[in-house]
């Protein structure tokens, strides 16, 4: 076995094993809201251990026998594993942005579909007819391509729902906390997903498999570390990821028209009192102050202001920023950002540029 191939096997086994142990044994807070996350984390850990076993078998077997039937058998097993990995990573990552979507029924349904389509290939591998195996591999590869496109479409839909929910709930840019989730998914589906297909279709080219193996080392490391570190973000994103219930209900005898009229008066008072400058505020916190519930408040803001909560609140802050810059042009922008409730100057500048179209410093120079 070539030295570089041997090194990649040893490195893979080490990385996968260490990450599996971390995923299994790192302490997780006892919280019912983390149920799906804990389950998916354990499943991923077992998948890492399966990769350890698989790569160990290849390592101790030595060089791959390049006989046609062995290459076809290798491709058949590899495409099945790749399909299962695509399922695993898609549903594991969706768990991080919508903990309620991934259910046992959905996962088992997907597994059943994969094994139904794999059945002809499984029969062909047992018969050991090269022509039958090759046809079956192409058939299952076509199904694998369909899976990749389906999972990409599903993930894009869930990401859009998450972003909408985030903008309806947070005043800040909390959706950026799951940027790594998007990055790792598209790496899994594109260079890794399509790379696996190349390995299957060209099993005799060892270089393709070696390059693919090196990419997998970095991918699995990045994925494992990101999944472990996500726990710190979960409790910030939990209201929209886990769908926590609302503690305040709208009175049954309040009609929507009268309720909206009353809510408009409350919001006007809150706005006049500069409530929007009181730090990073969520729609739940505002609903609590106004003695309504967040869904009701969100519907009102979307319908009456024609924008989501995030955009509306930041529009108020930016208008206030313009007024304060006119009144006190020498106020440092960092101090102004703090006065308006932003965590830092970067957040203020990003929101100002998104709403006005230019940075606050350029606006001040051109308007004063």
Dist CA 121 CA 125 (whole Å) = 6
Q: Which residues of the chain have pLDDT under 50?
A: 1, 63, 65-66, 245-258
Q: Which residue has the tokens 């230019």?
A: 358
CB-based contact 295:251 (threshold 8 Å): no
Dist CA 181 CA 191 (whole Å) = 16
pTM of the model as a whole: 0.85
Dist CA 61 CA 73 (whole Å) = 15
Bridge partners (DSSP) of residue 170 are 282
DSSP letter (8 states) at residue 290: H
Q: Identify the pLDDT of residue 251.
A: 42
Measure the N-to-C terminal CA separation of the chain; round to a whole number of Å: 72
Q: Which two tokens stand for residue 277?
A: 């400058």
Q: Identify the pLDDT of residue 66.
A: 47
Q: Identify the pLDDT of residue 43.
A: 84
How far, rounded to the nearest angstrom, does the alpha carbon of residue 100 sit from its chain's CA centroid? 14
Q: Identify the pLDDT of residue 168.
A: 92
Nearest to 308 by CA among 165, 175, 178: 165
DSSP letter (8 states) at residue 329: T
Dist CA 311 CA 129 (whole Å) = 62
Q: Which runs of consecutive H residues, i.e. helices, occur in the chain? A: 3-25, 35-61, 68-97, 104-127, 130-169, 179-187, 193-201, 206-229, 231-241, 256-272, 283-290, 294-305, 309-327, 333-339, 345-356, 360-367
Nearest to 84 by CA among 52, 117, 120: 117
CB-based contact 308:164 (threshold 8 Å): yes
CA angle 151/153/158 to nearest 5° reads 90
Q: Identify the pLDDT of residue 10.
A: 85
Question: In a 3-state reduction of DSSP, which class is residue 140?
Answer: helix
Task: Please write the tens of the pLDDT for every residue from 124-169.
Answer: 988 888 889 889 999 999 999 999 999 999 999 999 999 999 999 9
């Amino acid at each position: 076995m070539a030295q570089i191939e041997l090194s990649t096997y040893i490195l893979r086994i080490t990385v996968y094993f260490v990450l599996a142990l971390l995923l299994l044994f790192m302490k997780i807070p006892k919280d019912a809201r983390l149920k799906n996350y804990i389950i998916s984390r354990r499943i991923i850990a077992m998948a890492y251990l399966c990769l350890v076993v698989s790569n160990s078998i290849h390592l101790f077997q030595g060089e791959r026998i390049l006989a046609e039937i062995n290459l076809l058998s290798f491709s058949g097993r590899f495409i099945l594993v790749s399909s299962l990995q695509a399922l695993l990573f898609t549903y594991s990552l969706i768990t991080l942005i919508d903990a309620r979507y991934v259910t046992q029924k959905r996962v088992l349904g997907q597994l059943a579909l994969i094994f139904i389509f794999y059945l002809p290939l499984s029969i062909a591998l047992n018969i050991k007819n090269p022509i039958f195996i090759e046809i079956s591999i192409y058939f299952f590869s076509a199904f694998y391509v369909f899976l990749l496109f389906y999972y990409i479409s599903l993930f894009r839909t869930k990401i859009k729902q998450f972003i909408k929910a985030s903008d309806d709930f947070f005043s800040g840019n909390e959706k950026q906390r799951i940027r790594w989730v998007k990055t790792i998914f598209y790496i899994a589906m594109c260079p890794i997903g399509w790379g696996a297909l190349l390995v299957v279709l060209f099993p005799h080219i060892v270089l393709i498999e070696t390059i693919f193996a090196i990419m997998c080392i970095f991918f699995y490391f990045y994925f494992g570390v990101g999944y472990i570190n996500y726990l710190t973000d979960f409790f910030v994103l939990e209201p929209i990821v886990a769908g926590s219930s609302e503690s305040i209900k709208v009175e049954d005898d309040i009609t929507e028209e009268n309720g909206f009229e009353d809510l408009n008066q409350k919001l006007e008072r809150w706005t006049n009192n500069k409530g929007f400058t009181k730090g990073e505020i969520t729609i739940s916190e505002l609903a609590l102050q106004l003695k309504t519930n967040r869904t009701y408040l969100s519907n009102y803001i979307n319908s009456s202001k024609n924008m989501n909560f995030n955009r509306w609140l930041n529009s108020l802050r930016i208008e206030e920023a313009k007024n304060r810059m006119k009144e006190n042009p020498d106020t440092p922008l960092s101090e102004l950002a703090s006065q308006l409730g932003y965590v830092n100057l970067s957040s203020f500048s990003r929101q100002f540029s998104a709403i006005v179209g230019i940075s606050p410093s350029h606006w001040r120079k051109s308007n004063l």
